[in-house]
Amino acid sequence: MRSETAFVGDSVYVEKVTAKVGSGLVSLETVRAPMAVAVLGFTGEGRVVMERQYRHSLGRRLYEVPAGTVREGEDPASCAARELEEETGYAPLKLRHVGTLVPSPGLTDEIIHLFVAKVGRRRRSRPSEDEIISVHLLTVEDAIRRVLNDGPADAKSVVLLQMAKLDPSISSWAGAP
């Protein structure tokens, strides 16, 4: 097996590998990405905290759950709390890890840790300068509709919203904090 770095960006790099598969050699490329988090926040009124964010890679805005990249030395739970508050203004009162997602294993090694949170009162959000975000409080059903009907559906949002709909241990978080 032979490996080389084909591209280095600010947050990802592409690794090109020539490997023996079966009786032949194949060329494989993998986008090496940092660990990430996604968090579905529930208000005391049972609404979920969603955002509509511009995504340059698609040239459009998508309905999504708050998410972001884990910084070096940061644990996923701290990152989830930070991203939720920075992007939406909602700080978690309680936070729980509910799973791990590999969004596109044929292309990238990205791992996304999934969280649910009970949130308190909204404060001022502080999105990064490259983030254009509007915050929406929706029922789980309305959030699922918007994510699925808004064009290409964001995988991490679909997974967390379906978990909230189907798993009583998660849907119970829709009650008062």
Give the CATH number, domain containing residue 45: 3.90.79.10
Tell me: do 62 and 103 sit in the same domain.
yes
A 10 A CB-CB count for 69 gives 16
Q: φ, ψ for residue 35 (rounded to 5)?
A: -65, 150
- The catalytically annotated residue of 45, 129, 131, 141 is 129
Assess whether 51 and 94 both reside in one domain: yes
Over its length of 177 residues, how does the chain's per-residue pLDDT go in tens digits? 778 887 888 888 788 988 888 888 899 888 899 999 999 999 999 999 999 998 888 999 999 999 999 999 999 999 999 999 999 999 999 999 999 999 999 899 999 999 999 999 888 776 666 677 899 999 999 999 999 998 789 999 999 999 998 888 887 776 644
Contact 77, 115 (CB under 8 A): yes
- Do residues 39 and 135 make contact, with C-beta atoms less than 8 angstroms apart? no
Total domains in the chain come to: 2
Residues 88 and 99 in one domain: yes
Residues 28 and 46 in one domain: no
Q: Which domain holds residue 158?
A: 34-174
* 80 vs 58: CA distance, rounded Å: 24
Q: Which residues contact 56 (CB under 8 A, 6 or more apart)?
A: none
Q: Are residues 119 and 90 part of one domain?
A: yes
Q: Are 52 and 133 in contact (CB under 8 A)?
A: yes
- The question of whether 64 is a catalytic residue gets the answer no
Q: Check whether residue 14 and residue 41 sit in a common domain.
A: no
Question: What is the pLDDT, as a whole number, of residue 100?
Answer: 97
- Whether residue 67 sits in one domain with residue 15: no
pTM for the model: 0.89
Q: What is the pLDDT of residue 12?
A: 85
Residues 40 and 101 grouped into a single domain: yes
CA dist 2 and 170 (Å) reads 44
Indicate whether 39 and 23 sit together in one domain.
no
Is residue 67 domain-shared with residue 108, that is, in the same domain? yes
Residue 7 has a pLDDT of: 81
Nearest 5°: the CA angle 8, 11, 14 is 40
Same domain, 28 and 41: no
Tokens of 31: 């986008």
Are residues 9 and 80 located together in one domain of the fold? no
